Structure 1
């Protein structure tokens, strides 16, 4: 299969313009927007692994620590993400419970597992269904920001519900950890270069140049 890398053509990550690489080396500037361009993102695997591991570490306190603390005359109640799902389900709000469960629990874990799978597969130079893995990456990149739904709710309630000593709502440590996990996974998806999926599948003639740039 003919690829852009095998013909010396690379695309700009900023504006999308496809152009030929500079004859003196693998690095060049985009002719249209001036952004730095590379045949493959430098240290893509290393940087993505670092972000994914950090997200794995933080996702534990994100689910165990309270994301929201509600204070009133009757005491203080702290809610975790799963506690909020249970509360919505038992309050006859099953649709909201399902949305919260999917956006705040299933999607973050699915993103981490998917990125881990992609990283392991390219490091093993797997040739298994590269098209499907490329589609998986695009899905991970597209749905990242929608995991912030419970952080948005906690932030809005913290700003709106402040009645002095009668009632107050503040964000808990779990919300900070969860927001950090979401940001880390977004950056991890951005740092991963999906083109190495096709390189690992043996569809590029620039293997030596790519391996040198990725430090694999």
Structure 2
């Protein structure tokens, strides 16, 4: 069975119109929105790897640099994501500590490792069935919509606790790095063309 690419059918990335490509696809434009048409997103794997590797690098300062600094009566106490989570757990806020631990540590790791497995599988480095790859990607894509929740928590905490010179909370560099991790993982998921999953499966079936 031939796929859409073999039948010279492409989909516009902007308006999603199906187009019958009768000439060189590099010169083809969508008749509805005039966007350049490609069978697959150009350099999808390279872009996804670039965003993913950068996100992995940013995970280090995001977890080891202070995400916030509490200043009380002239004494400053910096907190990383982990130290803040432990402090919440010790102060009888176990529920909030679990939520922050999942959203700030487990979720970014899940997204990075999940995307890495998908990319390695598409490049034929490891074997994962196409349906499982698609389920994993859909989970990553859905979770990405909620990944920025921690930044809202930090901003609300700063607004509520800030009381001038006696008690104040300042956002640290760790929060900036964490925000970059969130954005980079979202960009990595958006730049990945899921049709590459089925291209590999189709090639294996033909063999």
Aligned length: 205
Distance apart, 1:79 and its partner CA: 1.4
After TM superposition, the structure 1 = structure 2 runs for residues 13-162 of structure 1, keeping only pairs within 5 Å, are: 13-26=13-26, 28-73=28-73, 75-124=75-124, 128-162=128-162
CA distance in 1, matches of 2:156, 2:184: 22
CA distance in 2, matches of 1:26, 1:135: 31
Taking a change above 3 Å as real, the CA distance of residues 162 and 37 of structure 1, as seen in their structure-2 partners, is: same
CA distance in 1, matches of 2:87, 2:78: 12
Deviation larger for 57-66 or 154-163: 154-163
Taking a change above 3 Å as real, the CA distance of residues 9 and 116 of structure 1, as seen in their structure-2 partners, is: same
Taking a change above 3 Å as real, the CA distance of residues 65 and 79 of structure 1, as seen in their structure-2 partners, is: same
CA distance in 1, matches of 2:181, 2:64: 14
Taking a change above 3 Å as real, the CA distance of residues 197 and 96 of structure 1, as seen in their structure-2 partners, is: same
CA distance in 2, matches of 1:157, 1:28: 51
CA distance in 1, matches of 2:69, 2:182: 21
2:40–2:193: 8 Å Cα contact kept in structure 1? yes
TM-score, with length taken from structure 1: 0.85
Distance apart, 1:196 and its partner CA: 0.8
Taking a change above 3 Å as real, the CA distance of residues 88 and 34 of structure 1, as seen in their structure-2 partners, is: farther
Distance apart, 1:27 and its partner CA: 5.2
TM-score, with length taken from structure 2: 0.88
CA distance in 2, matches of 1:27, 1:135: 34
Higher relative contact order (CA 8 A, sep 6+): 1
CA distance in 2, matches of 1:102, 1:22: 50
Cα displacement string for residues 187-211 of structure 1 (whole angstroms, at most 9, x for unaligned residues) = 1111111111111123599xxxxxx
Distance apart, 1:121 and its partner CA: 1.1
Cα displacement string for residues 52-72 of structure 1 (whole angstroms, at most 9, x for unaligned residues) = 111111101101111111111
Cα displacement string for residues 129-175 of structure 1 (whole angstroms, at most 9, x for unaligned residues) = 11210121122122113222222111223344432211111111110
2:51–2:184: 8 Å Cα contact kept in structure 1? yes
Q: Could you tell me which residue of structure 2 aligns to residue 191 of structure 1?
A: 191
CA distance in 2, matches of 1:84, 1:163: 20
Taking a change above 3 Å as real, the CA distance of residues 126 and 70 of structure 1, as seen in their structure-2 partners, is: closer
Deviation larger for 168-177 or 142-151: 142-151
* Unaligned residue ranges in structure 1 (runs of 5+): 206-216
